[in-house]
Amino acid sequence: MIGKVRRGGRVAGLLRYLYGPGKANEHVNPHLVAGWRGQDELEPPPRADGKRDFTRLTTLLRQPCAAIGEAERVWHCIVRAAPQDRDLTDAEWAHVAREVLHRVGLAPYGQEAEAVRWVAVHHGDNHIHIVATLARQDGGKARTSNDFYRLREACRAVEAELGLRRTAPGDRTAAKRPTRAEREQAGRRGWSQIPREGLRRQVVAAAAGAASPEDFLARLAQAGVRVRLRRRDDGEVVGYAVALDHHRTAAGALVWYGGGALAPDLTWPKLRARWRRTPQDELREKVATAARDAHDEQEFFRRLAEQGVLLRLRHSQTNPGQVTGYAVSLPGMTHTADGAGGGSGELIWYAGGRLAGWLTLPQLRRLWRTGEAGWTRAEREALYGQAAQAASAAAARIRDDPASAADAAWAAADALRMAATALGNPVLAKAAEEYERAARAGYGRIPAPSPEGVRLRSAVRLLALSGAMSRDTTLAGMVLVGVLASLVNAVADLRRAQQHAAQAAAARQAANRLLTQVTVSATPPAHPQPVRLLQDPPGQPGSTVREPRHGW
């Protein structure tokens, strides 16, 4: 059973619609099943022309608003049984309406003469409409705070009581769905995707690959997304909104969406929480970014300095003018009393190769000399291996310590998104989108950081720096997908144990898609046939190449 709440300001118009034929003559035998008084007393009588007379009912519903001098406000709730459920009787629907109003707090049991006035209309198709005016009969104000979540609780209680199909609790993990107006507007204008959904995908992708707020904003700008920041008086950013150039109001103004209007985990505080990292991770990402953006050695060193990275060069003993290596550190990255160095307070230096194998100076010089635009296959496979190890550790954390697994489950969403980008795999991209709900902690909570979650995010950020390799079919890429499938499967088991049905279903669907992808990729063709090149060199026998054994 599901419920939906709408608000309006014209009770008479709403009643006429509910008792009318509907938009496609779908309304059958409209009648009251319950009200704040007996439905026989409140049922609108027929007029001489056969239509209903709503004058008395409308007047009674409006009276509490008029008594306190407030404008008419209407609370409209649609409650619908699942298609697989039996047809409920009028008495059962009356019980549903009273339970909803009691749990929402508009008409608690025993307060029929003091609470709001309401009626419930049934016109077929196994659902009812509850119509209430938002003013109490005792002169108090009607409270509707968190009414959607209280409605979800009421629906679940009725499901258990009446033996109906069970639905998931309102745990605030679902992404915000586009409104009917947004869907219809996209259809009229021929847009390939609804702006709210398109923006959510862009923001999720930018957040997954970003290492800092500045990186996040730069990625959005690169994707063509408009960003508006909200700041406190001291200049600190506390929120943001995004928009698309083509989505404007009738007056030509941009339509802005705050992060929370896209998904529960895309608010600014939650984005900052997912960018938590260790000092070594921060240092590695700064060096990797400088290395990929630079064209030569001097530019690399300059970019490191611009990012606040401390640099120490190593020179040849036989040729003191020749630089043979480097080490880096960050201000404040010192030995403490709990670590090595006996609390000396000296800086901790990391050679490039200690951060990542491809960050040694000889490797970087080769990269700059050859002008390669991306990692070699061996370097990519090393990155895939690091990400796979981090994902495996996160899966182990989830299985061994479910109580502290929330951060690892959250980080898995970033891992899926970045793996899909790096491997150029649309199947992984679909799995990442399916998994998003399973990753979120319930009720808007920010998970406490865990070493496994921080490590996994650091690994996938390096993967993001590698860019996309379209349809990558390396064994290391396949291994990464297999490990991610195991990680997502662990999250599915976790959510099922927590009795979060919707999240468990989302994770299971994503895991099945990943496992199917691994199986298809690892299965050789039944009868591989040689494929002849379109043009063979003159006078030479036909050259042949075989179809690759593994393909996405």
Give DSSP secondary structure letters for 201-255. HHHHHHHHH-SSHHHHHHHHHHTT-EEEEEE-TTS-EEEEEEE-TT-B-TTS-B-
Q: Which of 221, 251, 274 is the last residue of a domain?
A: 274
Residue 208 phi/psi, 5-degree rounding, is -65, -35
pLDDT tens-digit series, residues 426-436: 889 999 999 99
Percent of the chain topping pLDDT 90: 51
**Residues 263 and 293 grouped into a single domain:** no
Specify if 32 maps to a domain.
yes
Sheet holding 226-231, edge to edge: 226-231, 237-243, 257-258
**Residues 334 and 450 grouped into a single domain:** yes
**Residues 228 and 366 grouped into a single domain:** no
**Residues 10 and 124 grouped into a single domain:** yes
245-254, 355-364, 500-509: the lowest-pLDDT one = 355-364
Specify if 175 maps to a domain.
no
- The predicted pLDDT at position 198 comes to 94
Q: How far apart are CA 165 and CA 298, in angstroms?
A: 66
299-313, 360-374, 429-443: the lowest-pLDDT one = 360-374
**Residues 223 and 327 grouped into a single domain:** no
Give yes or no for residue 240 having a pLDDT over 80: yes
Specify if 269 maps to a domain.
yes
Identify the sign of the CA torsion 168, 172, 174, 180. Answer: positive
Count of domains forming the chain: 3
Full DSSP string of 432-487? HHHHHHHHSPGGGPPPPP-HHHHHHHHHHHHHHHT---TT---HHHHHHHHHHHHH
pLDDT tens-digit series, residues 169-197: 777 777 888 988 899 999 999 999 999 99
Q: How far apart are CA 215 and CA 234, in angstroms?
A: 22
Q: How far apart are CA 407 and CA 425, in angstroms?
A: 25
Paired residues of 129 in beta bridges: 78, 121
Give yes or no for residue 483 having a pLDDT over 60: yes
**Residues 105 and 42 grouped into a single domain:** yes
What's the whole-number mean pLDDT along residues 350-364? 88
Give yes or no for residue 327 having a pLDDT over 70: yes
Q: Which of 230, 246, 274 is the last residue of a domain?
A: 274
479 in Cβ contact with 387 (< 8 Å): no
- CB within 8 Å of 35: residues ≥ 6 apart: 42, 117, 118, 119, 120
- Helix 55-67 to helix 11-19 angle (10° resolution) is 150
The pLDDT confidence band at residue 285, using thresholds 50, 70 and 90, is confident
CATH of the domain at 44: 3.30.930
Specify if 535 maps to a domain.
no
What's the whole-number mean pLDDT along residues 524-550? 39
As given in the structure block, the two tokens for residue 250 are 């009738």
Q: Which amino acid is at 491?
A: V
**Residues 46 and 83 grouped into a single domain:** yes
H or E element in which residue 324 lies:
strand 323-329
The pLDDT confidence band at residue 403, using thresholds 50, 70 and 90, is confident
- CB within 8 Å of 201: residues ≥ 6 apart: 433
Paired residues of 329 in beta bridges: 310
Specify if 539 maps to a domain.
no
Give yes or no for residue 48 having a pLDDT over 80: yes
Which carries the bigger pLDDT value, residue 514 or residue 528?
A: 514
The domain containing residue 147 runs over which residues?
2-162
Specify if 188 maps to a domain.
yes
Give yes or no for residue 7 having a pLDDT over 70: yes
**Residues 6 and 154 grouped into a single domain:** yes
Distances from the Cα of 291 to the Cα of 258, 296, 306, angstroms: 34, 9, 13
Give yes or no for residue 71 having a pLDDT over 80: yes
Residue carrying the six token digits 């075989």: 546
Give yes or no for residue 458 having a pLDDT over 90: no
Percent of the chain topping pLDDT 70: 88
Q: How far apart are CA 117 and CA 296, in angstroms?
A: 75
**Residues 146 and 73 grouped into a single domain:** yes
Which carries the bigger pLDDT value, residue 227 or residue 549?
A: 227
Give yes or no for residue 310 having a pLDDT over 90: yes
Q: Which of 162, 194, 225 is the last residue of a domain?
A: 162
352 in Cβ contact with 361 (< 8 Å): yes
**Residues 355 and 252 grouped into a single domain:** no
Q: Rounded mean pLDDT of the chain?
A: 85
- The predicted pLDDT at position 536 comes to 38
Specify if 451 maps to a domain.
yes
**Residues 241 and 293 grouped into a single domain:** no
108 in Cβ contact with 118 (< 8 Å): no
Residue carrying the six token digits 């970045």: 418
**Residues 257 and 395 grouped into a single domain:** no
Instruction: Report DSSP state, residue 266.
Output: G
Specify if 71 maps to a domain.
yes
Instruction: Report DSSP state, residue 534.
Output: S
Strand 31-35 to 116-122 pairing? antiparallel
